[in-house]
Structure 1
Amino acid sequence: MLSASHCIAPPQPQSKADSMTGPRRRILGALIGGGRSRRFGCDKSDALWQGRTLLDHAIRAIAPACDGLVLCGAKREGLASLRDRPHEGMGPLAGLCAALYHAGEEGYTHVLSAPIDVHPLPPDLLENFPGDRPAVLDRHWLIGLWPCHLAEQLERHLQGGERSVVSWLDGCGAARVPQGANGLVNVNTPFDLELLEMSTSLGSAVRFFDTDVLNFDNGQVTSGVRAVPVEVPVAIEFNGVGYAVMMASPSDLEDFAVGFALSEGLADAGEMDALGTFEAEGGWVVRANLPPGSLPAILDRARTRVSESGCGICGIESIAAALAPLEPVEAIPRLRPAAIHKAMGALRQHQALGRVTGAAHAAAFCSFDGEIVCTREDVGRHNALDKLLGALVRQGEDRANGFVLLSARCSQELVEKTVRAGVPMLVTISAPSSLAIIRAREGQLTLLALARSDTALVVNDPHGLMRKDV
């Protein structure tokens, strides 16, 4: 709708969505300056990501949805700037306050705000805020839509000594809108910027998720973001026949199909052609043609294939079946973070096979006070969990009255097994995949990962358990 060099744009035609919801909103885009961060070393708006400044990325993200654009708390040639209100040094809310006053004076109805140092901003940002009430993206509370009539209320809030964004949200009744599929990175340090750059180069193989870090020493929980490997169902079709669905990262999929056919003994190198990939609902499909002599083996194995330790769902010929809906866990975990720390400290002495061989995973069921009730081991992490769940059933243990601790990477199938068994909480030693996080949230499973002697990553906390003691 506008160029970055303009603050006021002429009235725009009323959109179909606006005509259905009432009078058209006239929106001022407000970019909240990141300032000179001591941890970053320079003005973050000048930092480069994908060859463009963070400020330029922010402009490109919100400008199409706005009728005007201003920069708050900073100055850039060609872009209208506002001084903080009531005065400088009062934090990012002072920039928002200035934008609300300016918008009201210039005939706007709302302000769409976004920090210049939070990325990647979705190109359809405004679609997250369909109504007229104040609303923000959850956990990124300066990304929001604000009616202009809030200007005086926000100024009183700041003059009263309040600079807390959370306090302001409560005071103005702002809705907290869940984020979309990908988390956002708050670029506070050069490492954050490096992480953003690296993840961009990896494309669809990585996603960001907002998480918390629990410190066992002081019980403090701090917010952050983590890049996790993407895990999706990949359906493999040879000669038009659905052969298997594998859980994999959606990168180098043609190499995956060729190597899979080779390792399965279906074809030799150079005998495969017509390779192709396409994205399907919930996953990817990879297709290849193998020589005619391979067809009997393809048909036979497609009919009789059984689950394997490294896959967990081999033989499922439907991506939809691989992502069958999960019934949420009904039980609610009731424990203090110290119980997790206690169980982790005791796990090693329950790993007899692991201590002898150094090559076995352990799955332990722990009471809410941190005592290890039962442990099972196996070379496969899925097998270890299945053994544990079977033991709990045979011993008559109440699976809702404890949590599972795993010495393994947190994959999607481990989450699903835990949810379906009715266990309300899972703690893993290694990092989660993207699908593990998605399925944990779907199943209302409390999930902690990267559990160490000092901290653990709080991946999903649907009941606010980890924040009750802080």
Structure 2
Amino acid sequence: MGRRTTRTPSVRVELTDSGPRLHRRPDTVAVEEPLEIRVDGESLSTTMRTPGDDFDLALGWLLGERAISDAEAVAAMRHCTDLDESGRPTFNVVEVSLAPGARLAPGVSARRSYTSSACGICGTESIEAVMHGDVPDLHADDSSVAPEVLAGLVETMREHQASFDRTGGVHAAALFTADGELLCLREDIGRHNAVDKVVGWAAREVGRIGRAPADRTGLPHVLLVSGRAGFELVQKCVVAGIPVMAAVSAPSSLAVDLAERASLTLVGFLRPPTFTVYSGQYRLGLG
């Protein structure tokens, strides 16, 4: 498996009254490498990611793009034996084999995409497109989260961001229960990748994520992200059927519009003791 961090030479510059002072030292940076996702031999996506949890990333991406309906559609996943210039395996290709009778959703092949680590490329590009078809009905979800519990999630997530502590250059996504129990945390150089890794984990380990809330009894339902809440992250949350999403930073206007349309509880600027609610405040017992 590829490294998540690596060491590289660097020069730290300190400005002093007598002029710049240079400190030459090795620094730890996050690894960024491509991951190609193939389904039954067909290449569907290439994303720049931090190596690790690649199977969860592939599964989460397939679910987020609604290429498959649930985790049961996947029979197996494996790394292809691709090699770098030195002949060493890179683990940069995941081959997904569908279960007997399972098929990719129509039009998925036509949406083949390249995704940078800076921003996700959505297969669907409008709120109407996201809400069209078989997406979980969050309006029917009556779960609730206490504001005090929500405020405490940031500290819990921060305590588990090991790669960020080493590099300062990766995002985090974390899945919690309503009482604040951390179930899964993933880090990646791409915000969308971190979310896909969490969704993929939940689909495998918890099961039934992405279906209607009535079928999700006992599933975790709070997603926290370390950065901003952009449209593509809210889209992934809605498609996964997670009714509460919180972000340490700001949402975008389109993210708020989608959250309101989908009845997603969206919280931004979660920086205890304050946070801002943009939609679905009734799940927080705030009226």
Into which bin does the TM-score normalised by the smaller protein fall? 0.5 to 0.7
Residue matched to 2:160: 350
Offset of residue 308 of structure 1: 3.0
When the two chains are superposed, the root-mean-square deviation of aligned CA atoms in Å is 2.6
Offset of residue 397 of structure 1: 5.3
- The answer on 1:433 being equivalent to 2:252 is yes
Contact 2:115 2:121 in 1 (8 A): yes
Contact 1:331 1:423 in 2 (8 A): no
| In 1, Cα distance between equivalents of 2:268 and 2:201 | 24
Distance 1:335 1:379, change over 3 A: same
Structure 1 stretches lacking a partner, 5+ long: 1-301
- The answer on 1:413 being equivalent to 2:232 is yes
Distance 1:324 1:395, change over 3 A: closer
| In 2, Cα distance between equivalents of 1:381 and 1:360 | 8
| In 1, Cα distance between equivalents of 2:142 and 2:243 | 6
Specify the code of the residue in structure 2 equivalent to 1:365. L
- The answer on 1:376 being equivalent to 2:193 is no
Distance 1:341 1:304, change over 3 A: closer
| In 2, Cα distance between equivalents of 1:310 and 1:398 | 29
After TM superposition, list the pairs within 5 Å mapping 1:26-425 onto structure 2: 305-313=113-121, 323-325=129-131, 327=135, 328-329=137-138, 330-396=140-206, 400-425=219-244
Offset of residue 464 of structure 1: 5.2
| In 2, Cα distance between equivalents of 1:320 and 1:438 | 10
Specify the code of the residue in structure 1 equivalent to 2:182. I
Offset of residue 405 of structure 1: 0.8
Structure 2 stretches lacking a partner, 5+ long: 1-109, 210-218
| In 2, Cα distance between equivalents of 1:320 and 1:397 | 28
Match of 2:267, SS state, is strand
Match of 2:131, SS state, is coil
| In 1, Cα distance between equivalents of 2:128 and 2:117 | 16
| In 2, Cα distance between equivalents of 1:320 and 1:459 | 19
Instruction: Map Cα deviations across residues 406-462 of structure 1 (whole Å, 9 max, x no partner).
Output: 101100011110011111100100000000000001111011010002100011126
Contact 2:223 2:242 in 1 (8 A): yes
Distance 1:378 1:319, change over 3 A: closer
Instruction: Map Cα deviations across residues 218-245 of structure 1 (whole Å, 9 max, x no partner).
Output: xxxxxxxxxxxxxxxxxxxxxxxxxxxx
Distance 1:355 1:397, change over 3 A: farther
Match of 1:447, SS state, is strand
Instruction: Map Cα deviations across residues 141-189 of structure 1 (whole Å, 9 max, x no partner).
Output: xxxxxxxxxxxxxxxxxxxxxxxxxxxxxxxxxxxxxxxxxxxxxxxxx
Specify the code of the residue in structure 1 equivalent to 2:150. I
Contact 1:333 1:425 in 2 (8 A): no
| Aligned-pair identity (%) | 36
| In 1, Cα distance between equivalents of 2:146 and 2:251 | 22
Distance 1:467 1:359, change over 3 A: same
Specify the code of the residue in structure 1 equivalent to 2:198. L
| In 1, Cα distance between equivalents of 2:125 and 2:220 | 33
Offset of residue 321 of structure 1: 8.7
| In 1, Cα distance between equivalents of 2:131 and 2:183 | 30
Offset of residue 463 of structure 1: 3.3
Residue matched to 2:284: 465
Specify the code of the residue in structure 1 equivalent to 2:152. K
| In 1, Cα distance between equivalents of 2:254 and 2:127 | 15
Contact 1:345 1:453 in 2 (8 A): no
Which of 447, 453, 458 is the equivalent residue of 2:266?
447
More moved, 446-455 vs 320-329: 320-329
Residue matched to 1:193: none
| In 1, Cα distance between equivalents of 2:113 and 2:154 | 37
Contact 1:339 1:370 in 2 (8 A): yes
Contact 1:447 1:461 in 2 (8 A): yes
Q: Which of structures 1 and 2 has the bigger CA Rg?
A: 1
Offset of residue 304 of structure 1: 6.4
Match of 1:391, SS state, is helix
Contact 1:444 1:462 in 2 (8 A): no
Aligned residues: 165
| In 2, Cα distance between equivalents of 1:375 and 1:346 | 10
